[in-house]
Structure 1
Amino acid sequence: MKIMSGIHHGFRGRAAVGGVLLVAACVSGCGEPRTVSGEVSEDDEAVHERSHIAGMAAHHICSGVFVVGRDYERSVEEVVAQDIRRFELFNWQDDFEYDVNFETRTASVSGADFGTRSAEYNGDQGCTILPADLDDVTYEPQVVERLGPDPAATAWPTGDVGAYHDPPPPEVDMAALEAALDWTMAQTEHNTRALVVIYAGKILGERYAPGFTRNTPQISWSQGKSIASALVGAAIQAGHLDAGLDDPVPVPEWHGEGDPRREIRVRDILNMSSGLDFLNLGLTDSLSWTHANEHFRIYFEGIDVFEHAIDQPMDTLPGAVFRYRNSDPLTANHIVREAAEARGEDWLTYPQRVLFDRIGARNYVLETDAWGNFIISGYDYGSAWDWARFGLLHLWDGVWPTPDGGSDRILPEGWVEFVSTPAPGADALQYGGLFWLNRGGSLPRAPEDAYWAAGFMGQYTAIIPSYDLVVVRLGPSPGDTGAYLSDIIGEVTAAIDR
């Protein structure tokens, strides 16, 4: 491990006492954990668990300081206090110590029994948890240039000029809308740090917590799964990925003779219905911080996440059952990487070129493992206006208005209909193509046609076609974020006379 010679921040905090389940962390049909090879004593297992807890904490400190870009030294204490220690589910231990080295741009968390877990910042690739046997990433980090037009001189939505309604549309009760925004921010237990409401293509209102702006990249967690979906669509539309929704997933390891995984289609992995045996234990099970929790290992262990995703057997038929599993969006991103690199594309800049530049999104940071694979199912950062543009792309059926007055089809025709249609295995009509849906009424105050990119602790980009509306909400919430989103949408839609 790297020697951390920078600023040391010793810390003794209260012991964590459990936590709460992630939204949809484990749906019916999770199955039983497969046997983990090797005999491990209870004492050794406890050390591994503490090491894993420290690995995730090191990541959060590193990204909270260097990716979000708070005021450096002051921000170290803020990140630990506001983003980790306050939430019991992260299981911060009272004997952990943490270090941040601003010269090497690394963060570490240490314990007497397991040593040190470290994460390093690699610029536009964000922060990476280092495996125990590596002191650096194995790839060459790349600068991801933002090649879109100057936002200060370019019209909205690609640029920032004219982003706001002026005057507001007559059907909007602006007093009620402002009250809805104020109410949202007043629910302080939810820690909302950014809120944006976009109606009829432009911004109606927005709010930001102190220290955060429209361009601050914030951890978006599983909203990145919806980015994975869009990258598949954009790669297909661009002719880079030679596979359609009903084609077998082009993972060579799945196509051996007699391998049942050869029947998994692209639509199955986008519907979270691959049938792969990939256990999701949430963060409150007795095995949550162990190897058995395959869904969460990618967030704390420092492994090759693409290899981990595709190197799994099946335990149900593809397309039959919706189960929330990181294996599926990671596999989706894996096949895009393989297709892009086969064309000679630079993978680390590919999402910016094929998607983000084209919609004027300039602040996304997709973090990687030590092998340069995007951990796009959770370790992704985006700003409020980035997510607003992403929502508009879907509201507008995958077609983007260009600054010259033309249009750019970024997602294939019919793609948005696919991602917003319930997966065949989603019995409650709650999930589509790596987007959550309201077809089954899970958000009682939102219209039935609402669908949204959703991330842990209440990261949301909601698209509501019947209201020509996009609502973005960011910030770490420990509460019932589904009910909170429902109320936000309910308050906002009540201010619009449709």
Structure 2
Amino acid sequence: MKKFLKIFAVLLVLVLVYIRIEIYPQLDLLSGFSAKSVASGHFIDNRSVETIQQGDNDIDKIDWVTNQINDDEHSVTTNVYGFKERKAIYREGLGATLINDDFDVSKPYNVPKRSKLNNNLPFPYGNLEQKDTVFSNIDYKKLNVAIENAFDKNGEKKKRTRSVIVIYKDKIIAEKYADGFNKNSKILGWSMTKSITGTLFGILQKQDKIDITQPAPIDEWKNDERSKITTNDLLQMNSGLEWEENYSKICDATKMLFIEEDMTKLQINKPLVGKPNNTWNYSSGTTNLLSGILRKQFKTHQEYLDFWYTNLLDKIGMNSAIVETDMAGNFVGSSYGWATTRDWAKFGLLYLHKGNWNGEQIFDESWTKYVSTPTNTSNGNYGAQFWLNTGGRFPNVPKDMFYASGFQGQMVAIFPSNDLVIVRMGLKEDPEFDFNVLLSGILKSLK
């Protein structure tokens, strides 16, 4: 009996050590993820906590979490079995922000100035419904089958598609939503927000306000090898800086999104592990650093906030869009952009038309070529804050297709040679959801 108790005691100690080392640190991330997700989904898109818990919060161990919404103070408080309580607050114009105990909720804050497109034009250049258009070169039966096959049937949860829209020659030729979603539903784009952030540099370049070939304006790098890193290297994820992006564990990316007060700084403090312009590595920290660099282009914080909307999002009628901020007031340019499916499609159309929006050149045509040209050492898979099919990731899709891509299978796919934009929003990505089948199926419907 004594021997058994000793063995039991040893095993118990080992279990407790494992929980302390491996599990307990994850609780901050679990409660942080859930608080932020529930606050955003509830206050931005009016979703119930039950809907969010069953859908958006589709990650491992999330059922350990308890969420409490306070509609009066626009907040969500979350804990994991009573431990690691986290709180997220919603502020109109800034979205939901995960806060810590030091955050002063009573402190005044700036919000972006917004303007709504009101020009009595149909989609995409206005907010009126389009006139029905039938194209003789489209096999609508094949098209509808391809769209239907992207959605779950009979209550299954395998493909988890929430919406698909297909825009051909500026016309919606197919549009479908899962139960509970519609054309007015705002959906988180996750890393598709990176493509928005990158686009702002194209706009600044057209305005002759930035030269992306120059060293990045980071004071901390001026006296070491990192001084050779250019803004171009950052846009192409080719800086050579250390960064770990793995959402299945505690890593640089998860610590940044769910713990850091100022998300623009974490990448700054990382050392070189490769050579600038010769070591491609996908990094959300890099894009948030770019958001910080954007902030430096303006004299005031208000100008920085306004620029994203006045010069891009509201300019092209993405009036539903909102990019959320961190505790320091920076846009989380890596991950937290929301918009309706139709408005995400407008962003794709802007690139399909090489920066021209209904006659106005938002960024130079050359910027489209820049973002869709393969970055050195990316194996043809990445441009500048956009993913590419140059390397043939989707074998039955044209290689000139390029796309914004986000966690859990968000995609805005741009097909220059087909005059086509396809948006898919959902909760599953490759390999669970087969994008090659969806995209190629839609393309086969074009004769």
TM-score by length of 2: 0.90
Q: Deviations over 1:260-289 (max 9, x none)?
A: 122111221111111111222x133xxx22
Query: For residues 119-198 of structure 1, what are the structure 2 equivalents within 5 Å?
Result: 119-134=88-103, 136=105, 140-142=109-111, 144-150=113-119, 153-161=120-128, 163=130, 166-186=132-152, 188=156, 189-198=158-167
Inter-CA distance 79–112: structure 2 relative to 1 (3 Å threshold): closer
Partner of 1:242: 210
Residue equivalent to 1:317:
275
Partner AA of 2:446 in structure 1: I
3-state secondary structure, aligned to 2:182: coil
Provide the C-alpha distance between the structure 2 equivalents of 1:445 and 1:219, rounded to a whole number of angstroms.
Answer: 28
**1:416-449 CA distance string (max 9 Å, x none):** 00111100121x2111111111111101121111
How far, CA to CA, are the matches of 1:486 and 1:262 in structure 2? 41
Comparing 391-400 with 483-492, which one deviates more in the overlay?
A: 483-492
**Partner of residue 118, structure 1:** 87
Aligned in 2, Cα 1:462/1:346: closer, same or farther, shift over 3 Å? same
Answer yes or no: is 1:252 the counterpart of 2:214: no
CA distance in structure 2 between the partners assigned to 1:442 and 1:44 by the alignment: 38
The structure-2 alpha-carbon separation of the partners of 1:117 and 1:62, relative to structure 1 and needing over 3 Å to count, comes to same
Does 2:54 correspond to 1:81? yes
Unaligned 5+ segments in structure 2 are 1-16
1:199 paired to 2:168 = yes
Amino acid at match of 1:205: A
* Cα distance in structure 2, aligned partners of 1:79 and 1:374: 23
Whether 1:420 and 2:378 are equivalent positions in the alignment is: no
Mapped partners of 2:257, 2:243: distance in 1? 15
Note the 1:281-320 alignment, pairs <5 A.
Answer: 282-284=246-248, 288-289=249-250, 293-320=251-278
Q: TM-score under structure 1 normalisation? A: 0.81
SS in 2 for 1:212: coil
Answering whether residue 20 of structure 2 is matched by residue 43 of structure 1, we say yes
AA partner of residue 260 (structure 1) = E
What is the aligned counterpart of 1:485 among 435, 439, 446?
A: 435
Residues 1:408 and 2:360 aligned together? yes
Tell me, yes or no, if the aligned pair for 2:257 and 2:263 is still in contact at 8 Å.
no
Deviations 1:355-411 (A, max 9, x none): 01221111111111111111121122121111111001101111111xxxxx21111
* Deviation per residue, 1:22-65 (Å, 9 max, x gap): xxxxxxxxxxxxxxxxxx99727643321221111111111111
- AA matched with 1:178: N
What displacement does 1:113 show? 6.0
2:240 corresponds to: 275
Bigger shift: residues 444-453 or 343-352: 343-352
Distance 1:124-1:231 versus aligned 2 partners, 3 A rule: same
Does the CA contact (< 8 Å) of 1:430 and 1:437 recur in 2? yes
Counterpart of 2:351 (choices 394, 398, 423) is 394
Give the Cα separation in 2 of the matches to 1:62 and 1:132: 17
Q: Give the distance between the partners of 2:113 and 2:306, measured in 1 at CA.
A: 5
Match of 1:92 in 2: 62
Cα gap change, 1:168/1:99 in structure 2, threshold over 3 Å: closer, same or farther?
Answer: same
Cα distance in structure 2, aligned partners of 1:138 and 1:190 = 43
Alpha-carbon contact 2:66-2:81 (below 8 Å) kept = no
The 8 Å contact of residues 351 and 368 in structure 2, kept in 1 or not, is answered as yes
Q: Partner letter of residue 366 of structure 2?
A: G
Distance in 2 (alpha carbons) for counterparts of 1:429 and 1:298: 28
SS of the equivalent of 1:346 reads helix
Change (3 A) 1:159 1:468: same
2:399 to 434, 448, 455: 448
Structure 2 SS opposite 1:349: helix
Q: Of 325, 328, 347, which residue of structure 2 is paired with 1:368?
A: 325
Which amino acid is the alignment partner of residue 151 of structure 2? M
- Aligned residue for 2:282, secondary structure, equals coil
Report the counterpart of residue 285 of structure 2 in structure 1. Answer: 327
In the alignment, the residues of structure 1 paired with residue 279 and residue 169 of structure 2 have an alpha-carbon distance, to the nearest angstrom, of 36
**SS of equivalent to 2:33:** helix
Match of 2:314 among 357, 380, 395: 357
Mapped pair 1:346 → 2:270: no
Query: Which residue matches 1:32?
Result: none
**For the Cα contact (< 8 Å) 1:462–1:470, is it kept in 2?**
yes
Q: 1:384 aligns with which of 329, 333, 341?
A: 341
Structure 1 residues 205 and 114: alpha-carbon distance in aligned structure 2, compared to 1, 3 A threshold: same
Secondary structure of 2:255's counterpart equals helix
Following the alignment from structure 1 to structure 2, what is the Cα–Cα distance between the partners of residues 336 and 486? 35
Q: How big is the shift at 1:471? A: 0.1
User: How far off its partner does 1:157 sit?
Assistant: 2.3
Give the distance between the partners of 2:210 and 2:326, measured in 1 at CA. 26
Whether the 8 Å CA contact 2:242–2:271 is kept in 1: the answer is: yes
The question of whether the paired residues in 2 share the 8 Å contact of 1:158 and 1:358 is answered with no
Query: Number of paired residues?
Result: 428
Q: Give SS of 1:181's match.
A: helix
Find the counterpart in structure 2 of residue 69 from structure 1. Answer: 46
